[in-house]
Structure formats: structure tokens, C-alpha cells
Amino acid sequence: MSPWRLLAVAALLLAGFWLTSQLTVSVWLAREAKLRQADWAQGLSPWRWDFRDPASVVRPGSHGLDDARITPEGLDLTLPGDGIASLSLNLRDGRVDAGAVRLARIEVEGDAPFRLILLAATDGGISDWAEHRFDAGHHAADLALGTPETTGKKAPLPIHGLHLRIESTPNARLHLERLALRVPPCADPACTSLSHRLQPTATPERLLAERDRILAEWPALRVEPGGRFGDIARAIAAVVPPLPALWRGLPGAIALLVLVALGRRAQARRPQPRTFFHPRRELSLTLGLPLVLLLAGWPARETPAGLSLSFAGCLLALALFPLAEPARWRWLGDRRAWRSALAFTAICALLVAPLAALDGGAAAPRDSSRFLRYPLWALAQQWLLLAAIAPRLRAILADERLAALACGAVFGLLHAPNFALMAFTCAGGTAWAWLGWRHRALLPLAASHAALGLWLTQIAPTWLLRSAEIGGRFLMAP
């Protein structure tokens, strides 16, 4: 294939990445708005805590949790010597819209009379939002939340911290099950005036940044995508069913597949000329399913562990299934391999360096421990790319340059729906596949991957990259 045709294919890939990212983010927003409206219709709000989940309570800012224990039924709590415990509730949505909620429903049990106080932290300080006294025993009660009509004060909008204070006799035992903030039931979005449509922007990162800015000021808002992407996204969200229970059992099936792959690899002294499936079918099954789920709006919030493990297991099985190759891979490589990887890394680092000057160089905050974790993750990614994906694409496509570009395209799709990251990793994956076939060395390419990944995430402005997160976490970043 001529260089011009390769450039045309690369341009089409970039356009495809943009469309995929825009549509995926729009479907996510449409599905999130649909779920929120379904909650409003039942009087539910996004602010709910199930105390069977350890993440419902944040340890920093809490008091009296030394003898707390998470059980399948909830949180068992023994009050300390002062008879007071304070639970800092995890606000996954960032802030609470005090103007939208009216009641706090709690399920709690105590072996002695106790008093519950819901404290709200706003920019003006911490104040009592609800208070109730309970006798010993089990209770499922609705607590009226303070409003401008009942307190004579302006409603605190928004609330950025919630604390559940418990007061009773020393060493009293309590069992907390659930706490939920309730809204007046409303099946019509217009009756609450809580709907807002976002128009498409140049990048999905900007669209999500605008969504985050709006929700920071009005946390109860239903934010929907606008334009043609919004119309398509709402149509998809309307027909996509809940995630089937089938996927919950998928990790076990994938684990069996990996064990079969290990057994075949242990029995084969040499790579077999054919795999169990044709390479095209293997790649379609492994990569196609996650992309379909992604476009369908799953996961709606965070990536389910079962799906993540299943996808990783599929890639691992591909890497372990023998496939005939012209030459074996080496870990360390020779000087030529390291020289090529170093030259490519230096050129790419210089090309992306001007990104630091965009928007004053404002970058998303990074965890310093990333410098320790990411090289190992880069090594794992590079091994899967070169051992699982690249050989199959090389077996399908006769043109080595086109096969390398296809390898970069697949690698970019694995980083969906982060458009900027998809574009960068497509370019990197193409070059690493090309260098891999020339030098057959893994560690030089893993070092290049780690260096460029860390460099990019440190200098890229927030509006461009948003974060290095992918999948469901991209929607919730930074």
C-alpha cells in the first residue's frame, strides 16, 4: 500500500475514533439522564448509602469507627467511651442539591435509645440538617430535612459534605443498614425544572468538562446530550436493556478458557500452525464485545469487575494460545532495538512537548505513585499487544505497514472512549508494532511505552486529555 493510502486510512481512523468517542459519551449521558429521571419518578435521588458497602463511609473525617464492622446486613457499630460516633458519608456525585431533596430515610437498629443528627457541610460552615431521637429497637424512619420554610434560612446550595452523628450511651451497639435522601416523586422532567441539554463540542473531553461544571453548581440536574448525537444516543439508551445476568458468570468461563490455553501451551513444544479459532474470529470475539457494550452505554457508572476481568482474561488467552510466527520474541533485545526505541521516544516526546503551553499548561492532577505503577502496566500492555494482537493481525494482513497501522488502531480502540488517548495510542501502537516486527524485542518497546505515557499524562492539558482513564472511569474523571 502506498504512503498516501496509508495516510488516508490513518485520517479515516482518526475520524472514526472521534465519532466513536462522541457517540459513546453521548449514550452514557443519555443513559445517566434516563436513570436519574426514573429515580425522580419514584422519589429517589442519587444520594443513597448502603452500609453493607465499605465505600459508603469515608474514614478520613469520621470518628468512633475503631470497633466498626461491615457485615452482609450492614454496619455494626459500638460507640466509644464518649458515646458519640460521626460517619463521614461518601459523596460519589461530589455535592448534594439541598433544594431538591426533602426527606432522609434511614434504617437503623440500636440496643439503647439514641439520637441521630445529619450534618451538612457547605461553604458557609457545618449546620444541622436533620435530627431525630429513637428508642431502642429497629427503625425505618423518614427524617424531615431543613428547608427555607422550616428554618427561616436560605437553603444551603450545594452541600459538599455530609456527616451522620450518632449520640447514645457509651458502648451502645448500633446496626446501620441504609440511608437515602428522598425527593418529591415526579414522573415529568418539566415539573422539577431539572433538565439541561449539552450541545456537542470539539472533543468529548470538553463536553464532559462542561457537564462536570454544571453539576458542581446544580448537582440534581439531569444533563442530556444535545444535537444529532443526542438524538441517536437517546434512541440507543431507550432500547438497550439492563446488563444481562449472563455477564456476571462470564469471569468463570473466561478463567476456564485461560486454563485451556495454559494447558495447550504446556503441551506444545513448538507453536502450532493453527489456533483453535481463525485469528479474525478470535480478535472479533475478544475486542468486539467490549466495544459493543461500550457503545451501548455500559458501564453506566463504573466498570463492573466481572467485565474487566473477563476482557483481561480474553486477552491473556489470546496471548497464551500458540500461533505460528516467523521468529521468537526476545525480552532484552540488542543495541539496535534499544537505539530504535530511544530514537522514536525522543522524537515523540519533542512532538508532544508543545502541549504543555496550551491553556497555560494546566494539567489534570496526577498521583506520584503512578511513576512506580505505570512501567509495570506498560510492560503488560506491550506484551499483550505484541503477543496477542500483533501476530494475528500480521497473519490476516499481508502488507506489513497496513498490519502495523491495524495494530495501532486496535490498540487505540482499547483506550476508548478517551478520544485524545485513542489518537495518541494509535500512533504509538503503530510504531511499536513496526519496531517489534523488525527487532523482536519486548523490553525496549515497554520502556518507550512507559516513558511516553508518563510524559503525556504529565504535560497534557485537562481539556485535551481529561485524564488517562478509559472505559467507565473516563466519564467520572478527573
pTM to 2 decimal places: 0.74
> What CA–CA distance (Å, rounded) separates 112 from 136?
4
> What CA–CA distance (Å, rounded) separates 89 from 463?
30
Contact 65, 79 (CB under 8 A): no
Lowest mean pLDDT segment, chosen from 18-22, 104-108, 221-225, 345-349: 221-225
Lowest mean pLDDT segment, chosen from 66-80, 207-221, 322-336: 322-336
Contact 216, 94 (CB under 8 A): yes
Angle at 405 between CA 402 and CA 407, to 5 degrees: 110
Contact 410, 469 (CB under 8 A): no
- Residues in a beta bridge with 116: 132, 166
Task: Report the share of the chain in percent with pLDDT over 90.
Answer: 20
Residue-wise pLDDT tens digits, 314-339: 666 666 666 655 556 778 888 898 99
Element (H, E) at 423: helix 419-439
Contact 48, 101 (CB under 8 A): no
Residue-wise pLDDT tens digits, 293-320: 666 655 555 555 555 666 666 666 666 6
What is the average per-residue pLDDT within 440-464?
Answer: 87
Residue indicated by cell numbers 425544572: 193
What is the average per-residue pLDDT within 264-289?
Answer: 60
Residue-wise pLDDT tens digits, 409-446: 988 888 888 888 899 999 999 999 999 888 888 899 99
The mean pLDDT value of the chain amounts to: 78
pLDDT category at 218 given cuts 50, 70, 90 is: confident
Question: Looking at residue 334, what is its pLDDT?
Answer: 86
Cis peptide leading into residue 219 (ω within 30°): no
Contact 157, 97 (CB under 8 A): yes
DSSP letters, 383-421, are: HHIIIIIHHHHHHH-S-HHHHHHHHHHHHHHTTTT-HHH
Parallel, antiparallel, or unpaired for β 125-134 and 84-89?
A: unpaired
Residue-wise pLDDT tens digits, 334-392: 889 899 999 999 999 999 888 888 765 444 455 556 677 888 888 888 888 887 788 88
pLDDT category at 393 given cuts 50, 70, 90 is: confident
Question: Looking at residue 363, what is its pLDDT?
Answer: 47
User: Phi then psi for 328, rounded to 5 degrees?
Assistant: -85, 155
Q: Which three cell numbers stand for residue 415?
A: 483506550
What is the average per-residue pLDDT within 442-462?
Answer: 89
> What CA–CA distance (Å, rounded) separates 287 from 309?
14
Residue indicated by cell numbers 429515580: 39
Q: Smallest Cα–Cα separation from 198: which of 16, 416, 30?
A: 30
Residue-wise pLDDT tens digits, 155-203: 456 788 899 999 999 999 999 999 999 887 765 555 555 677 777 777 7
Q: Which three cell numbers stand for residue 51?
A: 452500609
All domains in the chain, ordered by first residue: 3-34+234-476 (no CATH), 45-182 (2.60.120.260)
Higher pLDDT, 43 or 136: 136
> What CA–CA distance (Å, rounded) separates 183 from 395?
58
DSSP state for residue 359 in the 8-state scheme: G
Q: Smallest Cα–Cα separation from 47: which of 220, 223, 213, 302?
A: 220
Question: Looking at residue 217, what is its pLDDT?
Answer: 72
3-state secondary structure of 335: helix
What is the average per-residue pLDDT within 77-101?
Answer: 84
